Amino acid sequence: MFKKILIANRGEIAVRVIRACREMGIRSVAVYSDVDRAALHVRKADEAYHLGPAAAAESYLNIPKILASAKRSGADAIHPGYGFLSENPRFAHACAEAGVKFIGPTAAAMEMMGSKTRARQHMGKANVPFVPGTSRGVESVEEAARVAEKIGYPIMLKAAAGGGGKGMRLVHGSHQLRSALESAQSEALRSFGDDEVYIEKAILNPRHIEMQVLADEHGNTVYLGERECSIQRRHQKVLEESPSPIVDGEMRRKMGEVAVRVAQAAGYTNAGTIEFLVDQERNFYFLEMNTRLQVEHPVTELTTGLDLVHLQIRIAAGEKLPFKQEDVLLRGHAIECRIYAEDPDNNYFPSPGKITLLLLPSGPGIRRDSGMYEGWTVPIDYDPLLAKLIGYGTDREQAIARLVRALNEYFVGGIKTNISLFRRILNDAEFHAGKLDTGFLDRLLARPRADSSPDESAAQVAAIAAGVFAMLDPGTAAVNGANAAEPVSNWKRVGRREALE
């Protein structure tokens, strides 16, 4: 087993991996940029190495600097988290060259699944249902027109090297084809340095449902249930849940078996996710494979009772999966809210700054994976994800009720967050009915806001007022029933008073 793991990431996922290391008795090494000097992952790791300036290219994306830190610290493995270098085959290869185990798939598996057309070519051999279309880039408008006529409009033009909707165009008729193809190719070239664009039949109002898989290095591959990820804004997931409201046992088994075939066709090892598009008739089509641990992995952990990071580390250390497919039992329902430092009243623009007050939810069925703390300054330089709030319950309604209760306990002072957005989503009738598709959030945001019910906002104001008074005069805390035997610590009082001034 590894003695020391370097986490080549930051924020909540770095803290999450550090926690798994600590639970496994493995020393953890953090790396950080100038603006992350006081970040939570640096505080929690056993060791920390400075990478350089805030710019990702000078820090979290800088392979030589990260490998130099691994060498200096004597780390024998690296966990990439998600984003940054987590799906970069050159990084995986460089780790192997440096004799440091990359906790994830091989560079070859990453490369195969990194190109959507290469993936489709390989999936074709593995009897995997994918959206009708081409498995190679189109060479000309004429060729595109022929293919489109054959599969029928509307069609979707997509960048082979793409993801997240970049280089993607929905085309309703031949008259739009030339301009759409040219703009898709130029955006693909700009975004990915590769202008290959291919064609798929457009699935209208699809759901995005993904299947978690886990494969050890001895040929064992299992699926761990699906995640409903249809609630997205501009191709960024906002809220995810497991299980999906529309997947029953039969459909889960079928999707799981397809996902396992995809992973095996790719020679995949470690944790991976197969994304599907699901149409209104619940037909599912392979979309792409994510060769990393995903942000939303906690909802799978809660419904399976498994720790995916522990398992990733054990797999990378050469252990066999400690269970078989029939041992994977799903129980309950989990829903994750991604808490972003964004201003809902200003087009969700990032809202960096100092966190002056943090009132945190807890209690039955509530999990928080967080990278923030009171007094920390959220930098402008990176993705504004602050924390994930996950509610777990026996069923979907209990999970929703717990999440609504927890959101009303959550308060982040000093910056704006999207917490209010989740109250709107979780109170929405379509959401409660499980009527989700990738257009859900756009429809919700297009509707006029129903004011949050007065008692909720009053509860918030009361909670903040109580907190403020308790800070200003500990005696008040005693009067308000706070436990006088445990006066507010000097650290907290000084910190809070400073924050308030």
* Active site members: 292
Residue 11, sorted as left (phi over 0), alpha (psi -120 to 50) or beta, turns out to be left
* Stretch of 120-128, 196-204, 365-373, 491-499 lying at the interface with ligand MV4 (CB under 6 A): 196-204
Distance CA 260, CA 371 (A): 33
Looking only at residues 262 through 281 of this chain, which bind ligand MV4 when binding is defined by CB under 6 A? Answer: 277
The window from 202-210, 393-401, 421-429, 450-458 that contacts ligand MV4 (CB under 6 A) reads: 202-210
309 contacts ligand MV4 (rule: CB under 6 A): no
- Rule CB under 6 A: say whether 441 interacts with ligand MV4: no
Which of residues 31 and 287 has its CB atom nearest to ligand MV4 in the complex?
A: 287
- Give the residue with the Cβ less far from ligand MV4, 79 or 169: 169
Our finding on whether 436 is near ligand MV4 (CB under 6 A) is no
Q: Closest separation between CB of residue 85 and ligand MV4, Å? A: 21
User: 322 CB contacts (<8 Å, ≥6 apart)?
Assistant: 314
| CB 275, min distance to ligand MV4, A | 6
Residue 232 lies near ligand MV4 (rule: CB under 6 A): yes
Q: How far is the CB of 462 from ligand MV4 (least distance, A)?
A: 39
CB of 421 to ligand MV4, least distance (A): 17
3-state secondary structure of 267: coil
d(CA 62, CA 417): 30
C-beta neighbour count of 68 within 10 angstroms = 15
Q: Are 258 and 252 in contact (CB under 8 A)?
A: no
Return all residues near 20 (Cβ < 8 A) that are at least 6 apart. Answer: 307, 309, 310, 313
Query: Cα–Cα distance between 362 and 408 in angstroms, integer?
Result: 11
Cβ-based nearer residue to ligand MV4, 49 or 286: 286
Buried b (16+ CB within 10 A) or exposed e, 70-79: beebebbbbb
Q: Kindly tell me which of 216 and 437 has the beta carbon lying closer to ligand MV4.
A: 437
Nearest to 405 by CA among 456, 331, 329: 456
Binding status of residue 200 toward ligand MV4 by CB under 6 A: yes
Q: Please, are residues 332 and 395 in contact by the beta-carbon 8 Å criterion?
A: yes
Report the residue number, 44 or 201, with the smaller CB distance to ligand MV4. Answer: 201
Question: What secondary structure does DSSP assign to 151-172, as a single string?
Answer: H-SSEEEEETT--TTTT-EEE-
The angle subtended at Cα 248 by Cα 391 and Cα 235, nearest 5°, is 55
Q: Which two tokens stand for residue 469?
A: 């008074």
Q: Which of 202, 271, 386, 441 binds ligand MV4 (CB under 6 A)?
A: 202
Is the Cβ of residue 8 or residue 203 nearer to ligand MV4 in the bound state?
Answer: 203
- Residue type at position 377: T
- Cis ω on the peptide bond leading into residue 154 (within 30° of 0)? yes
Contact call for residue 203 and ligand MV4 (CB under 6 A):
yes
Query: Does 438 participate in binding ligand MV4 (rule CB under 6 A)?
Result: yes
Q: Least distance from C-beta 438 to ligand MV4, angstroms?
A: 4
User: Which of 10, 41, 208, 297: binder of ligand MV4 (CB under 6 A)?
Assistant: 208
| Shortest spacing between CB 120 and ligand MV4, in angstroms | 11
Segment 280 to 299, residues that bind ligand MV4, using CB under 6 A:
287
The least CB distance from residue 306 to ligand MV4, in Å, is: 25
Would you state the structure tokens that stand for residue 29, as one six-digit string?
Answer: 């090494």
d(CA 52, CA 32): 8
* Contact indicator for 328, 335 with CB cutoff of 8 Å: no
For ligand MV4, the binding residue among 146, 150, 172, 235 (CB under 6 A) is 235
What is d(CA 479, CA 473) in angstroms, rounded to the nearest whole number?
10
115 binds ligand MV4 (CB under 6 A): no
Q: Which of residues 116-175 bind ligand MV4 (CB under 6 A)?
A: 131, 156, 164-165, 168
Pick 352 or 439: Cβ nearer ligand MV4: 439
Chain residues binding ligand MV4 by CB under 6 A are 131, 156, 164-165, 168, 200-203, 206, 208, 232, 235, 277, 287, 438
